[in-house]
Amino acid sequence: MKDDQIQVLKADITTLEVDAIVNAANESLLGGGGVDGAIHRAAGPELLEECRILNGCPTGQAKITKGYRLKARHVIHTPGPVWHGGNQNEDQLLSDSYRNSLELCKENHLSSVAFPSISTGIYGFPVQRAAAIAVKTVLDFLGRNEMPRQVLFACFNEEAVKAHEKALQEMS
């Protein structure tokens, strides 16, 4: 793996020029708060129209749409788990969200993808734990696959940046 294959940055994910951004969606895929609402607002009403025909998405799975008014060509929607204390398979479901999003990148020949810190907002997943799961899942996937060539962790705040940088440093 190349050193610059994974990057952590504090950024508004809706502004990034990558092949795909990942939307930490809810199961309806019809928009919501946080990053989900921001992506829907930035992409425009066409995104909601395409999401309506997808008939939702189970937690841990992922679906892909066009990016519409975003700089990203695609949006990968993945509902992460709601944190219930760690005893309801949350770690595995979060890992599944990242892995299934990466699988869609591979299947669609997308070389660059940006992830938010999935499930750490209103869903309450502890940031350090989520970052460790995210980084481990991405490193494992990139170790076995050619695509994507670049993964960005586009963190909304400094806490998430530090958590992802720490996890990356410990696992690389």
Catalytic residue set: 36
pTM of the model: 0.97
Fold exhibited by the domain 3-171 = Leucine Aminopeptidase, subunit E; domain 1 (3.40.220)
Q: 63-66 and 74-79 as β-strands: parallel, antiparallel, unpaired?
A: antiparallel
- Report how far residue 78's alpha carbon sits from residue 12's, in angstroms, rounded to the nearest whole number: 18
DSSP designation for 13? G
Cβ(64)–Cβ(74) below 8 Å: yes
- Report how far residue 74's alpha carbon sits from residue 67's, in angstroms, rounded to the nearest whole number: 4
Of 99, 74, 76, 78, the C-alpha closest to 19 is 74
Q: Which pLDDT does position 3 carry in this prediction?
A: 58
pLDDT tens, residue order, the chain (172 aa): 555 799 999 999 999 999 999 999 999 999 988 899 999 999 999 999 999 999 999 999 999 999 999 999 999 999 999 999 999 999 999 999 999 999 999 999 999 999 999 999 999 999 999 999 999 999 999 999 999 999 999 999 999 999 999 999 999 8
